[in-house]
A and B are shown apart, each in its own frame.
Chain A
Amino acid sequence: DTAVSQTPKYLVTQMGNDKSIKCEQNLGHDTMYWYKQDSKKFLKIMFSYNNKELIINETVPNRFSPKSPDKAHLNLHINSLELGDSAVYFCASSLQGDYGYTFGSGTRLTVV
């Protein structure tokens, strides 16, 4: 299936831990994004990569570090997790010069 796939779907962890979320797309897109959706459903962009290069880096704590090994993958590593990091994190992709975003199904992160 052509899609944007994220793993894991659910992640429960303790404060202070370090965790990673992986994202892969097989759509041939060259731009990938990480979004955070809070409990009120607001979508906030965190990062955007185009052909493995960082092009958008919103005001996000430096505990969050994206890594793009190739244009089909964009992973998110989070250090020293805090309660406020609990949210659903969405990966998305698009073609450069195209507005159409395809979202993954999300990773629900719960920090206890």
Chain B
Amino acid sequence: GENVEQHPSTLSVQEGDSAVIKCTYSDSASNYFPWYKQELGKGPQLIIDIRSNVGEKKDQRIAVTLNKTAKHFSLHITETQPEDSAVYFCAASPPGSNYQLIWGAGTKLIIKP
């Protein structure tokens, strides 16, 4: 079955710098890759997603890139701000999974003032 690995587990960056979180997946047929942000005391919230027919997608300061050949995708956050501090999860959805998501282990992003 599908397996998603996420790195790093913790990432500390200076405010204003960029942050990159990477995920690899094992099932080359997976076709949907979302990123969720979980703030303290809250549930995960979808922030951006990408489908397998697209290589990159941007939404203001966040972007996701997908390399199907290498089976990895990354979340890029530019000009980081204190409110970006959270746990970020990647996920993948293999075909025939009834839209089930296979989750990465999460990355705790710390923005240093």
A-to-B contact residues, CB < 8 Å: 4, 31, 40-43, 45, 48, 50, 55-56, 90, 92, 94, 96-106
Residues of A within 8 A of B106 (CB): 41-43
Known A99-B49, A99-B99; judge A92-B34 contact (CB<8 A).
no
Q: Which residue of the partner chain, among B98, B103, B105, B108, contacts A55 with CB atoms under 8 Å?
A: B98
Known A55-B98, A99-B99; judge A104-B43 contact (CB<8 A).
yes
* Nearest CB in chain B: distance from A60 CB, A: 15
- Cα distance A40–B6 in the bound complex, in angstroms: 14
A92 touches B43 (CB 8 A): yes
Q: 15 interchain pairs (CB within 8 A)?
A: A40-B105, A41-B108, A42-B106, A43-B103, A45-B100, A48-B98, A50-B98, A56-B100, A99-B32, A99-B49, A100-B34, A102-B46, A103-B44, A105-B41, A106-B43
Residues of B within 8 A of A101 (CB): 36, 44, 46, 101
Known: A90-B44, A99-B99, A103-B43. 17 other contacts (CB 8 A): A4-B43, A41-B106, A43-B103, A48-B98, A50-B98, A55-B98, A56-B98, A92-B43, A96-B99, A99-B49, A99-B93, A100-B34, A101-B46, A105-B41, A105-B43, A106-B42, A106-B43
Q: Does B89 contact A (CB under 8 A)?
A: yes
B-to-A contact residues, CB < 8 Å: 32, 34, 36, 38, 41-46, 49, 87, 89, 93, 98-101, 103, 105-106, 108
Known A48-B100, A56-B100, A99-B99; judge A41-B43 contact (CB<8 A).
no
- Cα distance A45–B44 in the bound complex, in angstroms: 13
